[in-house]
Structure 1
């Protein structure tokens, strides 16, 4: 019995290690321009003596399209002690940001001071001092309707509650709280024609030793006292995270950036030590900004920002003022393989007349390319971007029959017999049984609970540990490889039987598509299908109307500035969690969206008050989406603890 207990405990310890290896975070990445060469100094020289990134070419940095306002720059010079080979010299990397004025989303309020800080939007506590900052949580001109007794969730624990409406329906008593603790309250009247009296400004003292700091603005649009409900309609919200405000000192360090200069309206931070851009690394610059380098003999890298918080983000391309062209180096949404320097998509505008893209002048083109599997022993596979999504040509050589790539991973996943590994989009793998010798595992592949295929895989030396699932009649094609699984280890224990997978690749064959020459993709409707490419043009003119979102096709849009000068960029919207949210057309009424299992209500005029309505900030941060690991480990920590308790019980009983 003691031997049995020891074996069981060992098995559970192995399971615990494997479980931690299998878990993975959901990360969204926004990248800047790709720089490619043999040495840092050579790349700097090719860029005219200075590598420079700002909001126009690095989508993570804050950018105000209407007013063409940027605040942040990141530069690499060959100055300091020099930048040779793959080493950035001392004080050659400079991050600088400046205070700028931008308009409130609720325009009657005018403008306010803001400053980007490592690709996040911050507010100076004093409009002329850059060293005391609080993150901007909300800047919105949407309408939010709340009933008395209900709270409006503003994010980060801040809420507004409508306490009461007066009997005449002309005043509302609002209360502002943080994490359930009272902060301030106000009675707001909407009876006068002076709309400024409808705005409540919450000023607080002792915020990083500063007094009279405006932390919240609320504009009440209407108040209604009905026979059943009393409601207040808010149009105009602005909030900073004053509870987590910070003061920056000259001796602070931000990752590799540790030489801080503080001006009246700017911050400038350099690197005191050299920075080596080692091969195949993510090297933190500071505050979530990274260099990402290629696994290549060439020196190839880009700067990127990582986001892990759930939410909807904007992935945009470089800003244009006339005819322009975008590829993966200038539009972060397009597919790009850093290791092999592979890109497939290009969007070009050849001619614009009076704010109209001329006929056949908007050209989207994508070609088939080959990239390495993440699990390198698998070799290479063909890939093709299609409107910023990663697709696999199911024949391998033709671009008209495509299936979306769901998973390409070299992570380790450990599953116990009888449990399923969720691969995403309804696909699963189940470990049915492990043989008594711990050398083989029987795996079953399913879609939405329906059996697809199964296989017994041996891990004995000399065996083929990789299972390829081939299916027929996928868009009229046979022998299509839809799944690759490499089994690394099999374990038959006294308590548990487990299999460890290292290497997974899966396409969404159930939703594969065939593209025909008469298909239409939004305003792109002239389709040409080549041997290894798709090219799609606009048969009609497309108006780049001021202050509009102009659909291109398949969830891709142009955003046009509210300015007399034409200024615009292409973008898509994505959310953390692999769910893409398509923004509504300007004439379309927003509808309720569900994100990550939580209902997110888009406020509109006349919406019935709902408890817990969460406002969406008026500015969404741009991002790039990397392929994410949607799989879940095949067993839970709780079951492991139960098993461990059982072992303890058996040992004690034996004693």
Structure 2
């Protein structure tokens, strides 16, 4: 099997793509080379997007030159869009996304609960608190709880019914209406009291009413409420490195006033940062993400795509942050492919998944390299690399040399990497190192400070004992299924000291799990089954699991990876919008 590892090192063509980090809202990856890079809500979940109604227009454009963005070359725009009320009889209102949040920008001509009003033109964005069309029946003794302390009650009147609106304990409005009919509360939305004083803040549609004893009942179907705490937007406001250039005319626009270097992490605007690789080279790849302080997402969403007949859709670490990803090392090769036939994903090839192994350095670099592979969004160990087989002049790496079998993929299994560290730690003779999965290593230094004796236990039971010359590497081998004599633990001791007390310097630890992940052929993961396994990778397909794409579908394809389709209105020839996601 060692020969297979050499063949792997010689012949593997490693796919250099990029996968997900641990951030919930990360955009598609784009090369940070001279030119223009653009992100929209479809490929950056940090921007507002309503997939069901295809609403969301926030766009960030960077014009890059020499990994610099000159003044005015970072441009953010967002345009207002018409959005239908959930209670369709009310028509629509103007909606706009700003820094990842949705706001009401005004009421249009076709709005049944308000006259025309342009909030954005007046420099105000208003959060929508409720937009609901669910049906509920309440008695005249009950109240409907709204937002921001409001509540409403409907009671008998001489003709029809009376609506009483309270905020806290204070009655703020009352009106009589007949069912079916609308109750609308209008007030001044400006916190300082200026501007319009007749803006619809709350609307409730009463569908029916019956007068009984001792209580009457009404059926409510339709509630809309906007906040009284609007957000002021005015030219010249600063958001991080961006300055608001215009607010009105149906949209918002910001740009940068100062030049900006794109090395490392750059806080571009509130909640959004640019992250790039830590090294400056031609392969550097940058991506944009929602800053951790602003994340409240429940899923990691991939790029939104449209599923037309005959089209093939792809998700890779470039456009789905749920796949395994190491940005600085450019590691991660998972790919999910969907081929649309009519409105179906036929079996067995309508959905395919592939992933391949890639070389990476140990943190303790004297050990050389090993193979890592993403699988279902997690990073795994797939084998040890023999650097000498790659044309180098060095002696074979110690972990490769001491393993009987060095490639776990040929035995159809993967192992989690538990520890990979080059952190230096001074250990007193007799001190115990805590490892993972219940392992502990007790290190003792001999009287001449030239050797060390290690005692390895697991859950308190003796597992192994060995000594080594210093500097040197202790290794522990174990049989894991069909993989024989694999090094699952390595500890490097660089030196020892006998003055003033015996100590040893630990500067390298590598540990992999002894609980293998089964990737044998025909093993089923959700709707997918493993089609093939070879020394360099794994592939899966949807054998015996055809899928019909339909509106509002949400299905788990594989553990931790779901497919979601929009609940969009059926229109002839309008392809369905969908994306994959991972729950957080």
Q: TM-score, normalised by structure 2?
A: 0.65
CA contact (8 A) 1:408 1:504 kept: yes
- Corresponding residue of 2:535: 531
Secondary structure of 2:526 counterpart: coil
Q: How does 1:426-505 map to 2 (within 5 A)?
A: 470=476, 472-477=478-483, 479=485
Q: Which has the higher contact order (CA 8 A, sep 6+)?
A: 1
1:268, distance to aligned residue in structure 2 (A): 0.9
CA distance change for structure 1 residues 552 and 419 in 2, over 3 Å: closer, same or farther? same
1:307 aligned partner: 292
Task: Pick the aligned partner of 2:27 from 21, 28, 32.
Answer: 32
Alignment of 1:245-256 (within 5 A): 245-256=230-241
Decide whether the 8 Å contact of 2:277 with 2:327 is kept in 1. Answer: yes
Aligned-residue offset at 1:529: 1.6
Question: 1:113: which partner in 2?
Answer: 94
* Offset at residue 545 of structure 1 (A): 1.2
CA contact 1:221–1:234 (8 Å) conserved in 2: yes
Indicate the SS of the match to 1:535: strand
Identify which of 504, 519, 526 aligns with 2:523.
Answer: 519
Q: Who is 1:286 aligned against?
A: 269
Q: CA contact under 8 A between 2:322 and 2:582: conserved in structure 1?
A: no
Select the residue among 556, 560, 566 that pairs with 2:575. Answer: 566
The reply to whether residue 132 of structure 1 matches residue 129 of structure 2 is no
Q: Structure 2 matches for 1:503-652, cutoff 5 A?
A: 509-510=514-515, 512-525=516-529, 527-540=531-544, 541-561=546-566, 562-563=568-569, 564=571, 565-575=574-584
Q: Paired residue for 1:583?
A: none
Aligned residue in 1 for 2:371: 382
Give the Cα separation in 2 of the matches to 1:332 and 1:84.
Answer: 27
| 2:318 counterpart (329, 335, 343) | 329
Shift of 1:86: 1.6
SS of the residue 1:547 aligns to = coil
Which protein has the bigger helix share? 1
Which residue is 2:403 aligned to? Answer: none
Residue pair 2:419, 2:510 contacting (<8 A) in 1 also: yes
The Cα of 1:132 is off from its aligned counterpart by 2.1
SS of match in other structure, 1:64: coil
The runs of 5 or more residues in structure 2 that have no matched partner are 1-20, 107-116, 210-216, 384-405, 497-503
Aligned to 2:110: none
- Structure 1 residues 287, 420: CA separation in 2 closer, same or farther (over 3 Å shift)? farther
How big is the alpha-carbon RMSD for the aligned residues of Structure 1 and Structure 2? Answer: 5.7
| TM-score, with length taken from structure 1 | 0.59
Q: Residues 276 and 358 (structure 1 numbering): CA distance in 2 closer, same or farther, change over 3 Å? A: same
Shift of 1:249: 2.3
Mark the CA change 1:175 to 1:390 in structure 2 (over 3 Å): closer, same or farther: farther
Do the aligned partners of 1:64 and 1:102 also contact (CA within 8 Å) in 2?
no
| Secondary structure class of the residue paired with 1:63 | coil
User: What is the match of residue 256 of structure 2?
Assistant: 271
Distance across 2 between alignment mates of 1:555 and 1:63: 22
**Can you list the C-alpha shifts for 1:44-81, whole angstroms capped at 9, x where unaligned?**
1xxxxx3222122323322222332231111123xxxx
For residues 221 and 486 of structure 2, the distance between their equivalents in structure 1, rounded to whole angstroms, comes to 54
Distance between the aligned counterparts of 2:420 and 2:162, measured in 1?
A: 57
CA contact (8 A) 1:349 1:363 kept: yes
**Whole-angstrom CA distance in 1 between matches of 2:238 and 2:364:** 37
- In structure 2, distance between residues paired with 1:144 and 1:414: 68
Paired position in structure 2 for 1:348: 337
Assess, with a 3 A threshold, how the Cα gap between structure 1 residues 398 and 429 changes in structure 2: closer, same or farther: closer
CA displacement 1:488-531 (0-9 Å, x = unmatched): 999xxxxxxxx999988765654x32122222233323622222
Summarize deviations over 1:594-649 as a string: whole Å, max 9, x none. xxxxxxxxxxxxxxxxxxxxxxxxxxxxxxxxxxxxxxxxxxxxxxxxxxxxxxxx
Shift of 1:358: 6.0
Distance of 1:221 and 1:450 partners within structure 2: 70
Contact 1:295 1:339 survives alignment (8 Å): yes
Distance in 1 between the 2:453 and 2:228 partners?
A: 55
Contact kept in structure 2, 1:284 and 1:290, CA below 8 Å: yes
Q: CA deviation at 1:215?
A: 6.1
Structure 1's unaligned 5+ residue stretches are 1-25, 45-49, 78-82, 177-181, 224-230, 491-498, 576-655
Distance 1:502 1:117 in 2: 48
Contact 1:431 1:443 in 2 (8 A): yes
User: Pairwise mapping of residues 395-410 of structure 1 onto structure 2 (< 5 A)?
Assistant: 396-398=407-409, 400-404=412-416
Question: Does the Cα contact within 8 Å between 1:457 and 1:487 map onto a contact in 2?
Answer: no
SS in 1 for 2:25: strand
The offset of 1:269, in angstroms, is 0.8
> How much does 1:196 deviate?
5.0
Question: 1:102–1:111: 8 Å Cα contact kept in structure 2?
Answer: yes
The residue matched to 2:239 in structure 1 has which SS?
coil
Measure, in 1, the Cα distance between the counterparts of 2:333 and 2:579: 17
1:177-188 alignment runs, 5 A limit: 182=168
CA contact (8 A) 1:59 1:332 kept: no
Q: Please give the alpha-carbon distance, in whole angstroms, between the structure 1 residues aligned to 2:442 and 2:208.
A: 61
Query: What does the per-residue CA deviation read over 1:568-593, in whole Å, with 9 as the maximum and x for residues that have no partner?
Result: 33322332xxxxxxxxxxxxxxxxxx
